[in-house]
Amino acid sequence: MRLDLQAVLPERGIDVSLEIAAGETVALLGPNGAGKSTVVSLIAGLLQPAAGRAKLGSNVLFDVDRRVWLPPHRRGTALLAQEALLFPHLSAEENVAFGPRSAGTPRRAARTAARYWLDQADAGGFAARKPAELSGGQAQRVALARALAAEPSLLLLDEPMAALDVHAAPLLRRLLSRVLVGRSALIVTHDVLDALMLADRVLVMEGGQIVEGGPPAQVLRRPRSRFTASLAGLNLVEGIRRGDCFSAPGFEIECPPEASRDQFRDGSQWLAAFPPSSVLVSVVNPSGSAGPTRPTGQAGGRNVLKVTVTDLEPRGDRIRVGAGELAADISPAEAADLALRPGQEVLFTVDALALSLYPA
């Protein structure tokens, strides 16, 4: 069902407004402390806002002005958190049947429902086991079955994969990609893969507010915040667009041809995003000219930025050269040729063809 939420909670710095369409899965991303879990708690009824209102379908979850407040069990939401939090003395099946039983479903029907949802969550095989006899991934599948058995109008998932190991997490992600189809759901995650695999739309939260949103591919291709750019693995530079030229402090770029199709006003704020792999690194010679390690190839214009190396770290088979908020990925051989070290001044040359330029 459709969710409309507007909530203010000053003690946590939250002032948020969001909606989820019926059948839509939305991923909520953001740095630590941005307020993602607080939003989940406000929807689930675990926290009360100071102001605002929320509606799920025709059900008013809260309306501070009208003093309406629905307790968690009457909201039509179900929450899957990091930890499965199953009742330790009940079997997997009894854990899943607990919700329907509490809602007044007769014992036999609740058991049938539990079996059905355990099967849906690929957990039918361990219906009789107690939580202590389940692995983390198995317990989380039982917890998912328990959440689904409540037949929620909105499923809330707060970092459901975070506590799982590298083998269990992809299994649960694959299961969720099947289960979430056509369901209204909000998933809090730090993993860009969750946004790509599970979400119809992404919302990015920073400092208690939604700062950007849209289809996952669009948000990741054209990030608007440094947080989203780092998730997408892109450098992000903010600057000014004038004619066919984009300029940022210490940096001038000739716009790629497709950028001229965009609407712009001279002097308007634009963003440039480019992958670290598209950056050539060269040392500054004593004369001030650069000695590139590779031919600059098709790079148009000057597109050269003078930066100071802040750190070097291995990234797969490349070396990530960090320069403040920018990064370049080069081969170990190139890094050795350049004898790079932190504190050194180098030139980053950006391939204009790898550049994505868009209005801020």
The answer to whether 93 and 127 have CB atoms below 8 angstroms apart is yes
- Answer for which of 20, 36, 161, 256 binds ligand ATP (CB under 6 A) is 36
Secondary structure of 72-102 in HEC code, one letter for each residue: HHHCCEEEECCCCCCCCCCCHHHHHHHHHHH
16-35 residues in contact with ligand ATP (CB under 6 A) are 30, 32-35
* Angle (CA) 156 154 144, round 5°: 50
Return the residue of 5, 16, 25, 37 that touches ligand ATP, per CB under 6 A: 37
Number of residues that bind ligand ATP (CB under 6 A): 10
For residue 248, which amino acid is it?
A: A
Could you give the CA distance from residue 180 to residue 199 in angstroms, rounded to a whole number? Answer: 9
38 near ligand ATP, judged by CB under 6 A: yes
Pairing of strands 209-214, 59-63: unpaired
Would you count residue 13 as binding ligand ATP (CB under 6 A)?
yes
160 binds ligand ATP (CB under 6 A): no
Shortest Cβ distance from residue 57 to ligand ATP (Å)?
A: 25
**Contact residue for ligand ATP among 5, 7, 12, 160 (CB under 6 A):** 12
Residue closest to 272 by CA, chosen among 324, 229, 208, 330: 229
Give 91 or 225: the residue with its C-beta nearer to ligand ATP: 225
Q: Which residues contact 289 (CB under 8 A, 6 or more apart)?
A: none
CB closer to ligand ATP, 36 vs 241: 36
Quote the CA–CA distance of 282 and 302 in Å, as a whole number. 13
For the bound state, the minimum distance from the C-beta of residue 116 to ligand ATP, rounded and expressed in Å, comes to 32
Closer to ligand ATP by CB, 14 or 237: give it: 14
Closest approach, Cβ 35 to ligand ATP, in A, equals 4
Q: Smallest distance, Å, CB 51 to ligand ATP?
A: 17
To ligand ATP, the closest distance from the beta carbon of 309 in angstroms equals 30
Tokens at residue 350, please?
């950006």
Which residues here bind ligand ATP, judged by CB under 6 A? 12-13, 30, 32-38
